[in-house]
């Protein structure tokens, strides 16, 4: 059983986390609307995972995160994407942007369990299942280069593999993908950060692909933050 504590001053947000934990299974969850009481409980029981809001009336979740005991896996839940960079600076394993959809919650849990060592040591490949031409197609997220919206469909472009056309919204698609490796950069585009060759003049150039992808004005700040984090993490691995 995975021990989790969720701290959020919005009861509705906590009820969503509670429902998702029930659906995921094998999770013992405690919820707290009071950051003080919630943190006292965290210090007392040292749970496996803490779901923590950032903007709360009386406390800032970023400051609380720095007080978490060693070994606790942190997942931020917030409506403010501009905190993404700060979130990684306090070693958050994931950043769930409200409104939270279950596929993204599920992927955050998979990352957390991998970090906690509760799964075996076999290589873990993140996949998504899409409906295409009246059948399900399993797509490895590591194969995805970018995604383009086309009316009520999305086109999923993959490395060395055929494009997949699926009837799904960009919002739903975004929720299914790992937030640390994919970013919505335009109302019509989601890109794999790993596939970017360069970024210049609000255009993204994809490695080995003859296409420049525009970055929308409302997406530029979040993209810059996440791309800088991604490049920094990759540099540290070398």
Residue 122 in this model has a pLDDT that exceeds 50: no
User: Cα–Cα distance between 121 and 15 in angstroms, integer?
Assistant: 33
**Going by DSSP bridges, is the β-strand pair 203-206/161-166 parallel, antiparallel, or unpaired?**
unpaired
**Going by DSSP bridges, is the β-strand pair 153-158/189-192 parallel, antiparallel, or unpaired?**
unpaired
Task: List the beta bridge partners of residue 73.
Answer: 49
Per-residue pLDDT tens for 103-115? 999 989 988 888 8
pTM here? 0.53
In the 8-state DSSP scheme, what is residue 91? T
User: Cα–Cα distance between 137 and 69 in angstroms, integer?
Assistant: 41
User: Cα–Cα distance between 201 and 74 in angstroms, integer?
Assistant: 35
Residue 123 in this model has a pLDDT that exceeds 60: no
**Domains observed in the chain:** 2-116 (3.40.50.2300), 127-237 (2.40.50.1020)
């Amino acid at each position: 059983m995975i021990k989790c504590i969720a701290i959020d001053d919005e009861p509705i947000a906590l009820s969503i986390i509670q429902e998702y934990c029930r659906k995921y299974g094998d999770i013992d969850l405690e919820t707290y609307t009071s950051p003080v009481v919630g943190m006292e409980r965290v210090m007392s029981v040292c749970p496996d995972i803490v779901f923590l809001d950032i903007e709360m009336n009386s406390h800032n979740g970023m400051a609380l995160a720095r007080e978490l005991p060693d070994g606790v896996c942190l997942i931020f839940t917030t409506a403010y994407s501009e905190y993404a960079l700060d979130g990684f600076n306090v070693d958050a394993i994931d950043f769930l942007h409200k409104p939270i959809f279950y596929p993204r919650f599920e992927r955050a849990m998979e990352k957390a369990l991998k970090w906690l060592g509760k799964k075996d040591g076999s290589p873990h490949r993140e996949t998504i299942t899409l409906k295409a031409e009246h059948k399900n197609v399993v797509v490895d997220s590591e194969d995805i280069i970018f995604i383009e919206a086309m009316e009520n469909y999305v086109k999923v472009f993959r490395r060395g593999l055929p494009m997949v056309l699926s009837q799904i919204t960009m919002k739903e698609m975004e929720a299914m993908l790992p937030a640390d490796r994919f970013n919505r950069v335009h109302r019509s585009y989601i890109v794999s950060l790993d596939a970017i060759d360069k970024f210049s003049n609000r255009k993204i150039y994809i490695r080995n692909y003859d296409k420049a992808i525009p970055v929308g004005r409302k997406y530029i700040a979040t993209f810059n933050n996440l791309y800088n984090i991604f490049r920094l993490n990759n540099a540290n691995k070398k």
